[in-house]
Amino acid sequence: MRLELQIRNRMSKRRIVRFTVKMVLLMVFICGILGIEARSGGTSSDNLALNGGFEILVRARGSWIEDLEPEAWKESREGGWEIDLTNSQRGNNSLKATTAWSWFSQEIKVEPERYYLLEAYVRSDATIPEKEDYANTFLTLESLNWRKKVIQTDWGIVNATSSWQLKENLIFTPPGTRKIRIKLAKRQGEGSVWFDEVKVINVSSGPILNPGFEILNEMGKPRFWKEHPQGGWEVSGEEVYEGNWAMRATQGWSWLSQEVPVKAKRWYSLAVQVKSDITLKERTDYENTFLTIECLDEKGEAIKRQWGNAFAFAFPLWHERENVIYTPENTKKIRIKLAKRLGDGSVWFDDVKLTERLFLAGKLPDKLTPLFNVLMYSLLVFSFVIVVIKIRSRKNSRRGR
């Protein structure tokens, strides 16, 4: 009898262990799925293009001889493309185009309504000395929908010169975009064009480009932002909310602006991290900061404006200030305009966010995350309770014997 009990006891313990292991595995599985979900939603500075340096070569399909071609790329029928093993910007190889309007292409999965930047190093011997801006090269991007139909073409015509230079094409993918197709080509002229180090980068997680002022140009100014001629804007490396850089305004009514494509008849919220060293004077309505929003029509004319006067405090902590606007009919874009308004001193800006405030649009991952968390914790608690109940019932049944 005692032996039987011991065996039963051992078996029930095994069952509990098995059950717990199963639950843990399930949790790990769910966490894995969630992790992937969270990552796919964010911005990435990674190169989305494969084999952008043309270093990986494979045997060409259907070729009689051992003809090599760069992996992941497709050559159009017009041909005229060669791998150049003697001349490269980086690595061993570059790609040489000898025939005009013959494409070398690659398709990449992307998200709609995002900014993508195509960068490539180009050089050419197809220049005409008397013409300075002789556009001989295509860095074209086509946006494709789910039927692989081209819904937008951004030609990206650039001028390659005799030395390697970085050229780019920035695009905003229209709604319905599933993929973009990179298309490299020589455009015109006698001679060849070389390509190397092709990159495609997602440059915004939301609608604003360079929202934290982290990408600077050769002049040390934040890319994609336009500075008013009155100036007074500085890149600040000391006072920073996030990352390496913030922007400091010293001149009142001098705008730092960016235009963003938006939808009509929607609510939008502009939220910016600010701080200031302007000290309070006797006036009570001493608003030192502008977070202005303008709604622009098709012609780029401002059809509505919300000044967004705000007060940035003069103590050493960053805080968020917000301005909200409803876009009228015919709105195509919003122009964000940041500025210092009044007072002696500076206002600092960082982490500019524009969000649409309608249902869950554009906020889905944020809204879903807590739901998944609740789901996961309840599963954990549930499995724990089950284990406890099982142990108790075993004990009770043993006592009953």
CB of 115 to Ca ion, least distance (A): 17
Q: Indicate whether 237 belongs to the interface with Ca ion (CB under 5 A).
A: no
Binding mask 180-199 for Ca ion (x = CB under 5 A): ----------------x---
Stretch that binds Ca ion, among 100-108, 142-150, 170-178, 240-248 (CB under 5 A): 240-248
CB of 196 to Ca ion, least distance (A): 4
Contacts for 77-86 with beta carbons within 8 Å, 24 or more apart? 78/102, 78/103, 80/186, 83/54, 83/57, 84/194
Which residues, numbered 201-220, are part of the site for Ca ion (CB under 5 A)? Answer: 212
Spatial distance between the Cα atoms of 401 and 399, rounded to a whole number of angstroms: 5
As a whole number of Å, the end-to-end CA separation of the chain is 10
Concatenating the DSSP letter of every residue in 267-290 gives EEEEEEEEEE-PPP-S-S----EE
Tell me whether residue 172 or residue 245 sits nearer to Ca ion (CB atom): 245
Can you list the positions of beta strands (E) in 241-346?
246-249, 256-261, 267-276, 289-296, 302-306, 309-310, 319-326, 333-340
- Which of 134/349 has CB closer to Ca ion? 349
Of residues 74-103, those binding Ca ion (CB under 5 A): 88, 90-91, 93
216 or 387: CB nearest Ca ion = 216
Number of residues that bind Ca ion (CB under 5 A): 11
26 phi/psi in degrees, rounded to 5: -60, -45
| Near Ca ion by CB under 5 A: residue from 48, 52, 53, 204 | 53
Structure tokens of 264? 């009509």
CB of 90 to Ca ion, least distance (A): 5
Cα distances (angstroms) measured from residue 175 to each of 64, 115, 152, 262, 305: 43, 12, 10, 11, 26
Binding status of residue 70 toward Ca ion by CB under 5 A: no
- Of residues 199 and 337, the one with the C-beta less far from Ca ion: 199
177 binds Ca ion (CB under 5 A): no
CB of 194 or CB of 255, closer to Ca ion: 194
Instruction: Compute the least distance from the CB of residue 149 to Ca ion, in Å.
Output: 32
Q: How far is the CB of 245 from Ca ion (least distance, A)?
A: 5
350 contributes a contact to Ca ion by CB under 5 A: yes
d(CA 226, CA 210) in angstroms, rounded, equals 12
79 vs 91, which CB is nearer to Ca ion?
91
Residue 356: CB partners within 8 Å, gap ≥ 6? 262, 263, 266, 267, 268, 362, 363
Provide the binding-site residues for Ca ion, judged by CB under 5 A: 53, 88, 90-91, 93, 196, 212, 242-243, 245, 350
